[in-house]
Structure 1
């Protein structure tokens, strides 16, 4: 039967498991809008008490990347790109979806929405419209339909909301992916106050202005291993920390003029949600009752009484839950289709740790199938490189587990979530130490994970795709197959050809062609294709602005010249990853068949 593969439900059926996320409440808080993959590409849906069934609001040909409810009127701001290009446009959409107006109308450039003013008359955004490379900050007047640049510098500046009196906007300047500053920019004069002077790497984000205009709440890892919640005095620029230096605070929202703060903490890859009332004693309270997993995002009601939380949970997929913060009640708001996949078939991963080449302990999530084994195993490597494999719901992993595969998701050195020192352990010339972490993962799998040594594959996307190619070239005896999604084959050409606005942000992690080109050539998989013994499958989108498709074509051409087993899927309507449902079904069905062929 067409619906069968590996003796169970098809991969296509698992790809039909839908997600609901990015909730935002209407101005009167009677309707919740959210993004969902219930259509072929993520679109906006609405849910209200009058119609207890989600109604689709947007019908773009391509994905919707963000949705934000207007604070005073029945409108939404919607962000969407074309073909995975990431050149997002900003649209004004009515609540019923009947009116859709492109406010930016510049398909050649990126537009990043940064928040509404309190009155809703203006919003702030950032764009690289001036010269492709640098991002400036703009304020858009919704009454006059006029946009005005308020912060123009030769830097990467993102928009981060308004001050309490709406007279200024916050701008986030990204020096690198791990080093950022906050500025407060006067809308009329353009004068910019540098709020976060510091030495070395430090990242500041999520500014939330208090109602009195004298302080701002934010997240920063200044002078610490982990990102902490803090308040910044706007007169003295002094910081006061509100959380301990134990785990990263990742997200923050404020209500009641900053008196109530809700924030999420990444505790060893599993999220915890906290509420902190600044006008009460007793400290922060942990929010109980949510599914165990990863908090993707959340939206706080204006009065701070309720929070809508997207949780990606191994046992509950990706759904939106509502919490009554004072009563403690928790209930589920969305019920995205699970595609007829039995709910009780989902498995939770085990958090494990294994030693690498220098004794460093590497954390990983291990998904195991039923039975005694030994198991064929897929080592699934995250991207970033500063990403992290967390305790979440990946439909593909659940599918593979039901097919009898075990899946190991390691957080090799350089991953986020384990402190500043760990994050920098793979920088530039230390790159191959992280690849060695993958080789040592195989040792742990064979000794403690009940794995078949002859049936271990490595799979990853983006930087994870580089790790796949590096693993099969530098450790060819460890891996029986490789799955490369939008991966880097040649560090030199990747740095040279990635989008201009991304290059300087990536060089701090990888190095520069001028200073490190010899090292790039030494380690890049494209120069070691002759070592590859594992069959390969390569997937890439033609519109990828991050890792150009030429990276895929280099490695595929080299393997084909060797007459080495390689399969190649190229998507003309995708970018950095595969988003559209028909393409996802095609991609992951091909991967499943490929792995069955070579591992089973």
Structure 2
């Protein structure tokens, strides 16, 4: 089951490189095993495109580090005194995002909009000399969906990114030459899902790429030249989930899932032939109970140390290191509350220097004394949580992002002494992700731990309307309407930090509650395994328990709670309205499955290696008895129970939760004369990537919530302009929707 759609998150701002999740060098494997389903891809567009005439970014030189220009307005005394924050400010393109410094330290890259002839602004990659931000120019030329992630090649000559068409997730990988501003499609094959599988400082002009061109279910590994696009087969996939590579761009290990949902690691045996290694030996076996909380994290550059996460004989996953020469294995970091999560990795040696653990808030554990002073400095410099988003090869310059809960992401250039020794450290302010938030009062996010009915601790995040909580204790003066915002996955998690959705809904008068229900990642294997077979069962009970807590605490009004979410969160919404029809005042389902049988039957072909895990944790769709059990937990079979208003959003090209899921529940509701509003986007997939589409759906959602929860709202206005929005049914159920559609069509 996929993660929460990007369109509902501010996730493009921080996609760090060296401090990303532990499995930084898994190649085709995901940062979390659950992300295998998301099948890591950057985001890209264009083929042999010249953008020499791209417009220059209209931005002033960045202010000094001690004078960042974002200063939020004081908190108003009441909601009525707080100005409406326009949707454009919270859900339009960020001003800038994703600061990256090139490996040679000469260039700064970032994402920012480029205005198109149509008037639309589309996210592209911009590059500036490291000390001349005002000279930034766009080097890519995506014209439609926008680039959502980028990185530098190790030779500092190219920007790497990927893009699909209309959300179909058939990603193409692209390289843009910074000097010539020309873009090359490195994987010019239609209908193929391309993934970066490895890179190396030792071979800076090449990368490893996974392609399922031979077999749609399996990704083979190719070595690709960035300058010419020439590719050579390195390893044919014998039927495994993924490979682990090393700094010599060799395939060192394979990972697969067993028929019972466990995990095995394999080493090649014999000599490699033209199609790679033909035979493999299993060296490690993990039972189903450990498969989601254990996994390889890669090799050091010299190949002498292998890092991995392991939850065997323990609950939370610790970080371990094995000497490939002696076989000695050591536990190097652990936390009894949380799994090992992010890692700070040296850019050349690939040694893990620090590890993060996130229970409610992120905490760093230093493993390498040479970065202790750096992390101390970064931790004290600014409020919030920091992430290192890039490091130069000589390791004297880092880009750092600071995440706040009540303000945009702030990016800095950090200069440090060589090898972390004595000397001066300094920070230079680069930019903020949004320049248009400074005029609005933004609210705080409170982390809370709620106990479930069977004694499990649920880490949650709560945001309250401005002016409702003058003493800042996380409880309003009087209960308010609430939105229960359910994350996707379900093998993902919610976290602390700036959340545009929270600020938006709180500004409209609602409390917003995120719940890390059982099955969420990062809290140990007992917590994740407690969700097995519990879709619409105890996973839903956790959400109900969180609502009960909010009501008892005087936070939420019992009769004014909406359940909303994307992907699994959309499924949870449909469960809420069909299995507990009087619990919620309304629901918003975004790309959520309505039938677990059709969800699993229509999985993308490249999910095949992971499907044994789905069978264990969701259910068996291959037998009559299994289908019967899955249907018992499918909202589609309980449509007649729906009593409360429902809004559904769907992308027509979604390869994970196909349009069938939305169509069939809408048709079933219509057959029983149950009202529903169905919003469909013909050019979107699993979530809404185009800002025009995001804006239009959020405009509909806001009016829908105001109608059923009583909050305030910004009229739809011109938010349908440029969007591909269609409403097959139920436009009359949402205030202003019919008029907005008519105005957009005129």
**Alignment TM-score > 0.5, same fold:** yes
Residue equivalent to 2:221: 137
Deviations 1:104-125 (A, max 9, x none): 1013011101232323232111
- Structure having the larger proportion of residues in strand: 1
1:306–1:324 CA contact under 8 A, matched in 2: yes
Secondary structure in 1 matching 2:284: coil
The correspondence of residues 259-338 of structure 1 with structure 2, limited to 5 A, is: 261-277=352-368, 287-289=378-380, 298-324=389-415, 326=420, 329-338=426-435
Gap runs ≥5 in structure 2: 1-79, 116-120, 469-476, 711-746
1:38–1:337 CA contact under 8 A, matched in 2: no
Q: Structure 1 residue 563 and structure 2 residue 673: aligned?
A: yes
1:413–1:426 CA contact under 8 A, matched in 2: yes
Equivalent residue pairs, number: 593
Q: Report the CA distance between 1:485 and its aligned residue.
A: 0.5
CA–CA distance in 2 between the matches of 1:178 and 1:297?
A: 33
Residue equivalent to 1:594: 704
Residue equivalent to 1:108: 191
Q: Report the CA distance between 1:25 and its aligned residue.
A: 3.0
Q: Report the CA distance between 1:80 and its aligned residue.
A: 1.6
Residue equivalent to 1:484: 589
2:340–2:355 CA contact under 8 A, matched in 1: yes
Residue equivalent to 1:70: 153
1:274–1:284 CA contact under 8 A, matched in 2: no
CA–CA distance in 2 between the matches of 1:533 and 1:111?
A: 44
Residue equivalent to 1:99: 182
Distance verdict in 2 for CA 1:451–1:280, change over 3 Å: closer
Residue equivalent to 1:346: 442
Distance verdict in 2 for CA 1:431–1:252, change over 3 Å: same
Q: Report the CA distance between 1:364 and its aligned residue.
A: 0.8
Residue equivalent to 1:44: 125
2:494–2:515 CA contact under 8 A, matched in 1: yes
Secondary structure in 2 matching 1:407: strand
Q: Report the CA distance between 1:148 and its aligned residue.
A: 2.4
Measured on the aligned residues, the alpha-carbon RMSD in Å equals 3.2
User: For 2:580, which of 456, 475, 479 is the aligned residue?
Assistant: 475
Residue equivalent to 1:506: 614
CA–CA distance in 2 between the matches of 1:473 and 1:585?
A: 28
The correspondence of residues 68-467 of structure 1 with structure 2, limited to 5 A, is: 68-96=151-179, 98-117=181-200, 118-142=202-226, 145-158=229-242, 160-163=244-247, 166=248, 168-170=250-252, 173-175=255-257, 179=263, 181=265, 190-191=276-277, 197-200=284-287, 201-202=290-291, 203-211=294-302, 213-246=303-336, 247-255=338-346, 257-258=348-349, 261-277=352-368, 287-289=378-380, 298-324=389-415, 326=420, 329-338=426-435, 340-342=436-438, 345-369=441-465, 370-371=467-468, 372-429=477-534, 431-467=536-572
Deviations 1:320-367 (A, max 9, x none): 3444464564554332334x3346622221112223232323221110
CA–CA distance in 1 between the matches of 2:636 and 2:462?
A: 30
Distance verdict in 2 for CA 1:30–1:142, change over 3 Å: closer
Distance verdict in 2 for CA 1:303–1:509, change over 3 Å: farther
Gap runs ≥5 in structure 1: none
1:442–1:478 CA contact under 8 A, matched in 2: no
Deviations 1:348-394 (A, max 9, x none): 21112223232323221110112233211000000111111100222
Q: Structure 1 residue 14 and structure 2 residue 90: aligned?
A: yes
CA–CA distance in 1 between the matches of 2:709 and 2:522?
A: 32
CA–CA distance in 2 between the matches of 1:449 and 1:295?
A: 33
CA–CA distance in 2 between the matches of 1:425 and 1:37?
A: 43
CA–CA distance in 2 between the matches of 1:195 and 1:399?
A: 50
Per the normalisation by structure 1, the TM-score is 0.89
Distance verdict in 2 for CA 1:187–1:28, change over 3 Å: farther
CA–CA distance in 2 between the matches of 1:412 and 1:365?
A: 12
2:340–2:356 CA contact under 8 A, matched in 1: yes
Deviations 1:552-598 (A, max 9, x none): 11122222333333211111111111111100110111101100011
Deviations 1:505-526 (A, max 9, x none): 5334312212521111111001
Residue equivalent to 1:30: 106
Distance verdict in 2 for CA 1:262–1:32, change over 3 Å: farther
Which structure's relative contact order is higher, taking Cα pairs within 8 Å and 6+ residues apart?
2
1:158–1:172 CA contact under 8 A, matched in 2: yes
CA–CA distance in 2 between the matches of 1:19 and 1:178?
A: 44
1:539–1:568 CA contact under 8 A, matched in 2: yes
CA–CA distance in 1 between the matches of 2:131 and 2:546?
A: 52
1:70–1:77 CA contact under 8 A, matched in 2: yes
Distance verdict in 2 for CA 1:542–1:348, change over 3 Å: same
Per the normalisation by structure 2, the TM-score is 0.73
Distance verdict in 2 for CA 1:529–1:71, change over 3 Å: same
Residue equivalent to 1:495: 600
Q: Report the CA distance between 1:68 and its aligned residue.
A: 2.5
Secondary structure in 2 matching 1:428: coil
Secondary structure in 2 matching 1:173: strand
Distance verdict in 2 for CA 1:273–1:321, change over 3 Å: farther
